[in-house]
Amino acid sequence: MRASPVRARRLRVVGGRPWLDPDLDWAVDAVRDRRLLRIGAHALAESRHDPEVRSVRVEALARAAVGFSGDVEALAAEDPSNPDLWLWFGRTRVEEAWRIRPEARARAVQAKSYTAYTRSMQSARDPLMRAAALWPDDPVPWEAMLWYALGLGLEREEKDFLWLEASQRCPTLYGAHVARVVSLSPQWGGLTDEMFGFARAALRAASCEDPRAALIPLAYFEYFVQERSGMIRGASSWFSPEERREVEDAARGWFEGDRPHPRTIEAHNLFGAAFHFADARRPARQHLLRTRGRPSSLPWTYLGGDEVGQFGKACRHLNVLTA
């Protein structure tokens, strides 16, 4: 990351909003008031020709609509040829399913809960496929399907097919790359070498302003969760010197540019957390300050609890004060 030194300052923490998009902030607020869903629909319609913006917006609007996906479905039924609404409905069903997913160790004694989760996730497929059919060039329904496939534990061939559909339509789509890294990770049945190989290949293909550089720290967090779980319970540094250098190299080759990418805030969260857990205080502080106080779910939820609490804990440790 190319940046000038930054001084400690108080950050106002804004949970659940890892973006710099005032229109999306407004739309999320509107959607949480169930009478104003059409504002969310308008925000999606405006993003049709920018897949990166569309990806962020549908993810955010789906999370805002969790618990009342039926209202989004009703809106889609009023305008059945609108791909935005079917995409929104399908992604909301994915997010609703993830919210009720039982812990793996509890599935044997929570069969009823796991059945409800499975049915909820399965209900996302038809609206997402309908959105894809209504607008064949859109990669974002296929990105959402990657999370659907992960949640249902579909076969590798199906996951590969969905990844191909998304990447053919937008080879650089950040959200789809995140889903692919997670799908290839050891905690989801993948192979460590393949996961890192994918992240490194994406980094080599990325331009200097492309936040896919942050796939490197993402892959390390996925690896630590499965292979080095003891570190998450309190080791002072999670990274070996060689691993830290790889994260440093990835960060050094990335900078925001004049027009930050829609996923820039998420990338700063990943790099900031990685440097924090590598005991690299200065770059950790630089990246965390550049999140503008907006934590993302990844990587902070890997640590347990919610992202706001874990983000705040790291900021306090680094003397990046939070309010």
- Return the closest-CA partner of residue 75 out of 106, 120, 34: 34
Q: How many domains does the chain have?
A: 2
**Full residue range of the structural domain in which residue 138 is found:** 20-158
**Are residues 9 and 29 both part of a single domain?**
no
**Are residues 209 and 240 both part of a single domain?**
yes
Domain membership flag for residue 178: no
Position 6 confidence tier, pLDDT thresholds 50, 70, 90: very low
For every residue of 96-125, DSSP letters joined together read: HHHHTPPPGGGGGG-HHHHHHHHHHHHTTH
**Are residues 31 and 154 both part of a single domain?**
yes
**Are residues 38 and 145 both part of a single domain?**
yes
Domain membership flag for residue 37: yes
Q: What confidence score (pLDDT) does residue 4 get?
A: 42
Q: Where are the alpha helices (DSSP H) in 208-291?
A: 215-227, 229-232, 241-252, 264-277, 281-289
Cα–Cα distance for residue pair 43/31, rounded to 1 Å: 11
Domain membership flag for residue 123: yes
Q: What is the per-residue pLDDT across 25-49, written as a single tens digit (0 to 9) for each?
A: 999 999 998 878 999 999 999 999 9
Q: Where are the alpha helices (DSSP H) in 51-208?
A: 51-64, 69-78, 83-99, 111-122, 125-134, 140-152, 156-169, 174-184, 192-205
Cα–Cα distance for residue pair 302/233, rounded to 1 Å: 11
**Are residues 128 and 189 both part of a single domain?**
no
Domain membership flag for residue 89: yes
**Are residues 195 and 100 both part of a single domain?**
no
**Are residues 216 and 145 both part of a single domain?**
no
Domain membership flag for residue 38: yes
**Are residues 148 and 247 both part of a single domain?**
no
Q: What is the per-residue pLDDT across 93-138, written as a single tens digit (0 to 9) for each?
A: 999 999 998 876 555 557 777 888 999 999 999 999 999 999 999 9
pTM exceeds cut of 0.75: yes
Angle at the Cα of 195 from the Cα atoms of 224 and 92, rounded to 5 degrees: 85
Domain membership flag for residue 177: no
Beta bridge partners of 322: 11
Instruction: Give the chain's largest Cα–Cα span.
Output: 57
Q: What confidence score (pLDDT) does residue 207 get?
A: 95
User: How long a stretch of residues is the chain?
Assistant: 323
| Domain's final residue, options 117, 142, 158 | 158
Cβ-contact 289, 297 below 8 angstroms:
no
**Are residues 241 and 126 both part of a single domain?**
no
Quick one: 237 exposed, middle or buried, by C-beta within 10 A (0-12, 13-18, 19+)? middle
**Are residues 212 and 232 both part of a single domain?**
yes
- To 10 degrees, what angle do helices 125-134 and 140-152 make? 160
**Are residues 254 and 125 both part of a single domain?**
no
Q: What confidence score (pLDDT) does residue 108 get?
A: 58
Residue 221 has pLDDT above 50, yes or no: yes
**Are residues 58 and 4 both part of a single domain?**
no
